[in-house]
Amino acid sequence: MKKLVLILVLAALGLLFMLVRQTKASSLDRFWSSQSKLSSDNSNNEREVKKEFEVKPGGKLTIDLKTGAAIDIKGWDKSLLSATAVISEEDEDNPMEFSFEKNGNSVEITSKFKYEKRSNHSNAKLIVYLPQKYNVEFNTMGGAVIIGNVDGNTEGKTMGGAIVLSELKGYVNTETMGGAISLIDSEVDGRVKTMGGPVNLKNVKGDVDATTMGGPIIQSNVQGKDKSGKGVSISTMGGPIVVDEALNGANVKTMGGNIDIKKAAKHVYAETMGGKISIGEIDGSVEASTMGGDIDVKMTGALKAGDKNVSLSSKGGDVTLTVPDGLPMDVDIQITVKDEDRYDKYKIVSDFQLKEDHSSGEWKESHHNRGKHINGTGTINGGGNKIKIRTINGNVYLKKS
Least confident of 120-134, 139-153, 312-326, 377-391: 120-134
Angstrom distance (rounded) from CA 58 to CA 68 = 26
Least confident of 12-21, 51-60, 152-161: 12-21
Angstrom distance (rounded) from CA 334 to CA 354 = 12
pLDDT tens by residue, 88-115: 866 566 678 899 999 999 999 999 987 7
- pTM confidence score: 0.80
Percent of the chain exceeding pLDDT 70 equals: 81
The larger pLDDT score, comparing residue 198 to residue 228, is at 198
The answer to whether 331 and 311 have CB atoms below 8 angstroms apart is: no
Angstrom distance (rounded) from CA 72 to CA 331 = 56
Mean pLDDT over residues 338-345, rounded?
A: 77
Q: Look up residue 5 and give its DSSP letter.
A: H
The larger pLDDT score, comparing residue 349 to residue 227, is at 349
Mean pLDDT over residues 270-276, rounded?
A: 95
pLDDT at 89 (0 to 100): 66
Q: What would you measure as the largest C-alpha separation in the chain, in angstroms?
A: 84
* Residue 4 neighbours by CB distance under 10 Å: 8
- Does residue 29 surpass a pLDDT of 60? no
- Does residue 44 surpass a pLDDT of 90? no
Q: How high is the mean pLDDT of the chain? A: 85
Angstrom distance (rounded) from CA 4 to CA 231 = 42
Radius of gyration from C-alpha coordinates of the chain:
27
pLDDT tens by residue, 360-373: 545 555 555 567 88
pLDDT tens by residue, 144-184: 999 999 999 999 999 999 999 999 999 999 999 999 999 99
What residues contact residue 165 under an 8 Å CB cut-off, 6+ apart? Answer: 147, 148, 154, 172, 174, 181, 182, 183, 184, 186, 192
pLDDT at 40 (0 to 100): 43
Angstrom distance (rounded) from CA 20 to CA 28 = 11
pLDDT tens by residue, 346-393: 999 999 999 998 765 455 555 555 678 899 999 999 999 999 999 999
Query: For residue 24, what pLDDT band results from cuts at 50, 70 and 90?
Result: very low
- Does residue 189 surpass a pLDDT of 70? yes
Percent of the chain exceeding pLDDT 90 equals: 67
The beta strand positions in 225-364, using DSSP E, are 232-236, 241-243, 250-254, 259-261, 264-272, 277-290, 295-299, 310-314, 319-323, 329-337, 348-350, 355-358
Angstrom distance (rounded) from CA 252 to CA 128 = 36
Q: Are strands 106-113 and 96-103 parallel, antiparallel or unpaired?
A: antiparallel
The larger pLDDT score, comparing residue 116 to residue 352, is at 352
- Does residue 1 surpass a pLDDT of 70? no
* Residue 121 neighbours by CB distance under 10 Å: 14
Query: For residue 74, what pLDDT band results from cuts at 50, 70 and 90?
Result: very high
pLDDT at 28 (0 to 100): 39
- Does residue 3 surpass a pLDDT of 50? no
pLDDT at 6 (0 to 100): 37
Query: For residue 5, what pLDDT band results from cuts at 50, 70 and 90?
Result: very low
The answer to whether 254 and 275 have CB atoms below 8 angstroms apart is: yes
Angstrom distance (rounded) from CA 183 to CA 35 = 17
pLDDT at 54 (0 to 100): 97
- Does residue 327 surpass a pLDDT of 90? yes
With CA atoms as reference, report the closest residue to 240 among 279, 202, 214, 209.
214
Query: For residue 10, what pLDDT band results from cuts at 50, 70 and 90?
Result: very low
